[in-house]
Amino acid sequence: MKCAEIIDQFSFYSYGEVSSELEERIESHLAECAACRLEFARHQAFMDSLDQRGELNEGALLISCRADLRRRLTAQPAGSQRWTGLLASLRDFSHFHIPLRVPVGAMALLALGWFGARYTPEKFGGMRAGLAQPMFSNVQSIQQGDSGKVQIAVDEVQRRVVTGDLTEPRIQQLLLDAVRDESNPGVRVESIGALKNSAESEEVRRALIDAVSHDPNAGVRLKALEGLKPYAGDPSVRKTLANVLLKDENPGVRVQAIDLLTTHHDDSIVGVLQDVMQKEDDGYIRARARNLLETMKASVGTY
């Protein structure tokens, strides 16, 4: 393949959208062609720069969108989804086996009660949307006994609100647990935000360092870096910052790391900055590293 053809494939190659055969050809071409390697580095820098678009925060809007949608769904004319659903429920209900000895009147009352509760608007005391309920349950096992009874094991989680001062150990412990909640990055950001002013505590600082080094969400890592700001001179924090600067995949996080690392000038960061000059694609970070090396009268490259 010619260089121009290879270059045309760069964006698909970066996105992993080429066949494995083409991928191999591109890689072997890159291994041999310095001009294409340079062009690919430029392409990667361009791709990374696109992350600077800035994410929009849709949180508040989402809540009002949901409320509007619920209002509009309630206002939907009968005959759309809700009416179809009622008919379907009636159809399903007719399939149930009704023992003849059960009085028909009682069944009718039961059905009326069920449909009444199910389809009465909320303002008249009807059923609330399931997601608004504070309790979450999960059926773990079901056992049928000889007597016709069924034994169901249900795990239930009851939500409760805990209020307290940030200095209280039980509050700090809850927040530290929340920092490790893998399922919810929003909770991790909030808990780090709450903890960041308590980083004088060894345990909190360790949690922040852990989040900076290992959290998969860049927003959480950035928040944790903010919390470490007053401790940028601490050797363990500096070691973490150097690692982040060289290894974190998010340029925003690397930028924050270099800014914190360079608040204290010491010789230990010269090697790191020289590494940055060699490996970094982001123009701003490279420029920052170069300036600092020049300020510290260190050579820009390693020889």
Partner 1 sequence: MGAILAAPLDEADLIRTAQRGDQDAFEKLVRTYDQSVLRLAMNLLRSPDEARDVYQEAFLKVYRNLHSFRFDCSFHTWLYRIVTNVCLDHLRRRKVRKEESTVVETPDGPVDQAARLTEEGPSGNPERQAWNRELSEGIRTALDALTPRERTVFELRHYEGMRLRAIGEILGTTEEAAKNCLFRATQKMRASLETFA
Convert residues 207-226 into a mask of x (bound to partner 1 by CB under 8 A) and - (unbound).
------------x--xx-xx
- Phi and psi at 165, nearest 5°, equal -80, 145
Tell which positions 1-30 bind partner 1, by CB under 8 A: 8, 11-12, 15, 17
Applying CB under 8 A, which part among 19-27, 37-45, 104-112, 204-212 lies near partner 1? 37-45
Say whether residue 55 binds partner 1 (CB under 8 A).
yes
Judged by beta carbon, residue 172 or residue 262, the one nearer partner 1 is: 262
- Phi and psi at 139, nearest 5°, equal -75, 120
Contact 285, 255 (CB under 8 A): yes
Judged by beta carbon, residue 86 or residue 174, the one nearer partner 1 is: 86
| 267: helix, strand or coil | coil
What tokens appear for 53 in the block?
């678009």
Say whether residue 268 binds partner 1 (CB under 8 A).
no
236 Cα distance to chain centroid: 26
Tell which positions 139-178 bind partner 1, by CB under 8 A: 139, 154, 156
Residue 190, judged by CB atoms within 10 A of its CB (0-12, 13-18, 19+), counts as middle
- State which of residues 3, 5, 44, 84 lies at the interface with partner 1 (CB under 8 A): 84
| Integer Cα distance of 108 and 139 in angstroms | 30
Residue 273, judged by CB atoms within 10 A of its CB (0-12, 13-18, 19+), counts as buried
Sites of contact with partner 1 (CB under 8 A): 8, 11-12, 15, 17, 42-43, 45-47, 49-50, 52-58, 61-62, 64-66, 68-70, 72-73, 76, 80-89, 92, 127, 129-131, 133, 135-139, 154, 156, 219, 222-223, 225-226, 252, 255-256, 259, 283-284, 288
